Amino acid sequence: MNCMTRSLSDRQLIDYFKEKSALIESWLDQLLPAEDDPPEELHQAMRYSIFAGGKRLRPILSLATGEIFDAREDELFTAACAIEMIHTYSLIHDDLPAMDNDDLRRGRPTNHVVYGEAMAILSGDALLTHAFQILANYQSSNSDRKVRLISEIAKAAGSSHALIGGQVLDLQSEGKKVDEETLEKIHRAKTGALIRCAVRIGAIVGGAGEHDLNVLTEYGEKAGLAFQVADDLLDEIASSDELGKTAGKDASKKKATYTALYGIKGARHLAERLSGEAISAARSLTLDPGLLPDIARFIVERRS
């Protein structure tokens, strides 16, 4: 990794993430139902998990990709927020007692711990539904593109090689010996599909041509897998304090992980290789890839 050009220092990249996160959070705040709109408890539960300190990786990938093409800002932010709502709903449902049974996420009690299981299920349902509502309702004269965005996002959130399908595979593989191919299939679907979609959304809103869209799809796929491998490494190595969730939990639940399959050293090499491939893909764009190479590097070097 040392041979790569770094266009931004770590400090600058962290500042970029902070700045964009603040913008995304202000958009999320505007796009979500208000806390005092009835039913208040549901809307509070939705906001509790949305504003629980996530990294905003997916919407930031949409923005960083959109910036390359000077994409229309309101359309970009709306689509990016829809993806973040879907990501958050999936975390709320994954944390439920009937699923991964996690009490802690990002250092805070999970949604069902605070609001109860029924409200957690419903607030997840509502975030998923609201994502499509905001996509259908933003001001735009380009309905063809709106439909395309809805189609892309619904597909990535779906059951076939996508978000929900990945969670099913993950649950089914608990306690089983999982091979390389299955592990990759799980993560391409569970984490990869939405990250890939986040990148594609930025390109589609920006009106990218076919070559660039293909190259960015490749970038999104590699970056998504790199992110998951790095996540497994963090889960294995970091303390619970740094992670804000129970460290080593995946391993103790006999979940399929990259560290279990390749060991720490092997997983680290894999993360770096995938990140390198994402960077190469970004560099083969017809335009300056902006921050995409830096983000692909950051994904595997992060500490939380």
Q: Binding to its own copies by residue 53, rule CB under 8 A?
A: no
DSSP 33: P
Residues within window 167-206 making contact with its own copies, judged by CB under 8 A = 167-169, 171-172
In whole angstroms, the minimum distance from the beta carbon of 238 to its own copies comes to 27
224 φ, ψ to 5°? -65, -45
- Contact call for residue 132 and its own copies (CB under 8 A): yes
Segment 273 to 292, residues that bind its own copies, using CB under 8 A: none
**Separation of alpha carbons 233 and 264, rounded Å:** 7
Rounded to 5°, angle at Cα 43 from 150 and 31: 40
Question: What is the three-class DSSP state of 108?
Answer: strand
Cα–Cα distances (Å) from 201 to 114, 192, 301, in that order, read: 33, 14, 25
> Among residues 51 and 263, whose Cβ is nearest to its own copies?
51
If binding means CB under 8 A, how many residues of this protein chain bind its own copies?
50
Q: Per rule CB under 8 A, is residue 129 in the interface with its own copies? A: yes
What x-and-dash track marks residues 99-128 binding its own copies by CB under 8 A?
x----------------xxxx-xx-xxx-x
Given the complex with its own copies, which of 46 and 295 has the nearer CB atom?
46
136 sits near its own copies (criterion: CB under 8 A): yes
Pick from 8, 114, 150, 237 the residue near its own copies by CB under 8 A. Answer: 150
Distance CA 92, CA 275 (A): 28
Comparison of 158 and 244: residue with beta carbon closer to its own copies:
158
Q: Considering the rule CB under 8 A, would residue 137 count as an interface residue with its own copies?
A: yes
Alpha carbons 291 and 170: distance in angstroms, whole number: 32
- Positions in 20-39 near its own copies (CB under 8 A): 33, 37-39
Apex 94 CA angle, 55 and 92, nearest 5: 60
Q: Is 2 helix (H, G, I), strand (E, B) or coil?
A: coil
- Shortest separation between residue 185's beta carbon and its own copies, angstroms: 9
